[in-house]
Structure 1
Amino acid sequence: MLRSKLKVLALVPVLALAVAAAGCGKSDTPSGGTTPGAADAPQLLNAGKLTTCTGLPYEPFQFEKDGKVIGFDVELVDLVAKKLNVTQEIVDTPFDGIQSGVDLNSGKCDLAAAGMTITETRKQNFDFSDPYFDATQALVSKKGSGVTDLASLKGKKLAVQNGTTGDEYAKKNAPDVELVTFEDLGLLLNAVETGAVDAGINDNGVLYDWAKKKTDYEVVKEFDTGEQYGIGVKKGNDKLLKVINDTLKEAKSSGEYDKIYEKWFGKKPSK
């Protein structure tokens, strides 16, 4: 199912640094701009805001709780927003529009952070930041279902999320399985839970997080796809890309990245 309207969701505000203005009363900040006087600062779509495209829900990377969007990716992008002296604003949009580059190229958002794997195809559509998270594909099913791998699903139904690397992997490696496509992770997992499908495939991080809460279900198989997540920006937006990469590097070097990682995954990242 396609969402007919975009949902713009407010985040916990990032603390902005006060900038003292001297001299005449006119502001030097252009419409859609960012920090005054910074010639190398990226131009943003909306003054004072860093607009992020993402596809909700994708817990624990980004999801809504008590009317706010929170998660691992959200906190990383908050660091970028803080560096730019702005606040982050999230636009919830179907993932296919993100991974195809349509949302970035049409000016819907400044960047895309959606637990998104860096692929050669996507790199043709937009530019990626340095990798910030390692992932692989996994299979989730009800305990005792007899599902152990893709071969055990022959003649059965497998839920996939449209436009994802899991969707692509299943199409290549599960020719005798009926693929049922869903627009977002929430709908996919609901189909697994209600028995509308026999299993679901997606990134291991989100499936393990879900199975921790849904104890009748388990991740039965991981596939060594060797994926890495990156943050996307429109091609040629080198100034914003540099800020993102600098922020990720500084967060890793200061220990802030490890702190955020442990908060959302319950362990420190493997080195």
Structure 2
Amino acid sequence: MRTRHSTTLLAAAGAGALLLSGCTSTTGEAQSESGVPLISDGALTVCTNTPYTPFEFERDGEVVGFDMDLADEIAADLDVEKTVIQTGFEGIESGADLSTNKCDVAISGITITEARESQMAFSESYFDDELGLLVPAGSDIQSFEDIGDARVAVQQATTGQTYAEENGLNFEQQEDVELMLQKLETGGVEAVIGNVSVLGTRAAGNPDVVLADQESNGEQLGVAVGSENTEMVDAVNSTIDRIEGDGTMDRMREEWMGL
């Protein structure tokens, strides 16, 4: 793997505004050496939402994880530094953070959907995921079909919430995945629905919860880019193709997910 680029951790609101005050106001006025438009000279600005282990989470004051390694590789290929902005997932999944030039790319375990594609552009898929069901060890809930009227937690604005809505489940929304998982582990809900990659990681580290079921829903994760920034889409796809071919992607999967 290439040497990691430095990561600057910024708060979602005040620090993000400070960052933008020193940047160009329109994507494309700054560029990488290869001519890819950037909002700030010499930096790939990445929006993400933590915690979402193993994709992005804080460790020793730095945002790390599978997605952040991917961002490192993109920045390395562009020959720029990486700057990370933590922001709410609503601003990411709606495309607002990209359309207002808050960041060049959003990398945050984002599922590619038709609705989101109408608001932003996506790279090719870099990870195929499934929907998972996490329950306490010994629970009578062994599958999605067993949920019934049980109280379920989901992360807001995710495919887990969509599944709960479409299936008429008794659910509550949590702002981030950590709050969702804590709700289960403290007995506030009887199950959580989310991505297998995230729930499986939690189950592997906590014997009190188990991954009871998973369902293939064709879910694919992509890097989100502003709708007009085709040069960035091409650059990200080039990096994804490279790391899938040279073994870097396999090493990332092993490091962060044990896959």
TM-score (normalizing by structure 2): 0.87
1:145 positional shift: 2.0
Q: Which residue pairs with 1:94 in the alignment?
A: 88
1:255 positional shift: 1.5
Equivalent residues of 2:12, 2:85 under 8 A apart = no
Is the aligned partner of 1:171 residue 2:165?
Answer: yes
Structure 1 CA distance for aligned equivalents of residues 65 and 74 of structure 2: 15
Structure 2 CA distance for aligned equivalents of residues 146 and 152 of structure 1: 8
Equivalent residue letter for 1:154:
G
Equivalent residues of 2:66, 2:252 under 8 A apart = yes
Q: How does 1:23-38 map to 2 (within 5 A)?
A: 32-35=30-33, 38=34
Equivalent residues of 1:33, 1:44 under 8 A apart = yes
Output one character per residue of 1:188-246: Cα deviation in whole Å (capped at 9) or x when no partner: 00101111111100000000001111111001111121211110000010111111001
Q: Which residue pairs with 1:5 in the alignment?
A: 13
Equivalent residues of 2:98, 2:106 under 8 A apart = yes
1:215 to 193, 204, 207: 207
Equivalent residues of 2:12, 2:86 under 8 A apart = no
The answer for unaligned runs of 5 or more in structure 1 is 9-29
Q: Which residue pairs with 2:131 in the alignment?
A: 137
Distance 1:4-1:63 versus aligned 2 partners, 3 A rule: closer
Is the aligned partner of 1:182 residue 2:167?
Answer: no
TM-score (normalizing by structure 1): 0.83
Aligned length: 238
- Secondary structure, counterpart of 2:30 in structure 1: coil
Equivalent residues of 1:137, 1:201 under 8 A apart = yes
Output one character per residue of 1:98-132: Cα deviation in whole Å (capped at 9) or x when no partner: 11111111111100111111111111110000111
Q: How does 1:96-115 map to 2 (within 5 A)?
A: 96-115=90-109
1:155 positional shift: 2.4
Is the aligned partner of 1:235 residue 2:216?
Answer: no
1:31 positional shift: 6.2
Structure 2 CA distance for aligned equivalents of residues 67 and 75 of structure 1: 16
The answer for unaligned runs of 5 or more in structure 2 is 1-10, 17-27
Q: Which residue pairs with 1:197 in the alignment?
A: 189
Q: Which residue pairs with 1:26 in the alignment?
A: none
1:88 positional shift: 1.1
Q: Which residue pairs with 1:158 in the alignment?
A: 152
Output one character per residue of 1:9-67: Cα deviation in whole Å (capped at 9) or x when no partner: xxxxxxxxxxxxxxxxxxxxx963322xx4xx112111121111111011111111111
- Secondary structure, counterpart of 2:219 in structure 1: strand
Equivalent residue letter for 2:140:
G
Distance 1:97-1:142 versus aligned 2 partners, 3 A rule: same
Q: Which residue pairs with 1:248 in the alignment?
A: 240
- Secondary structure, counterpart of 1:163 in structure 2: coil
Equivalent residue letter for 2:157:
G
Output one character per residue of 1:149-175: Cα deviation in whole Å (capped at 9) or x when no partner: 3343322210011110111011112x1
Distance 1:117-1:4 versus aligned 2 partners, 3 A rule: closer
Equivalent residue letter for 2:13:
K
Which one is further off, 224-233 or 253-262? 253-262
Output one character per residue of 1:70-120: Cα deviation in whole Å (capped at 9) or x when no partner: 111111111110111111111111112111111111111100111111111
Distance 1:112-1:263 versus aligned 2 partners, 3 A rule: same
- Secondary structure, counterpart of 2:216 in structure 1: strand
Equivalent residue letter for 1:33:
Q
Structure 2 CA distance for aligned equivalents of residues 212 and 6 of structure 1: 36
1:53 to 15, 31, 47: 47
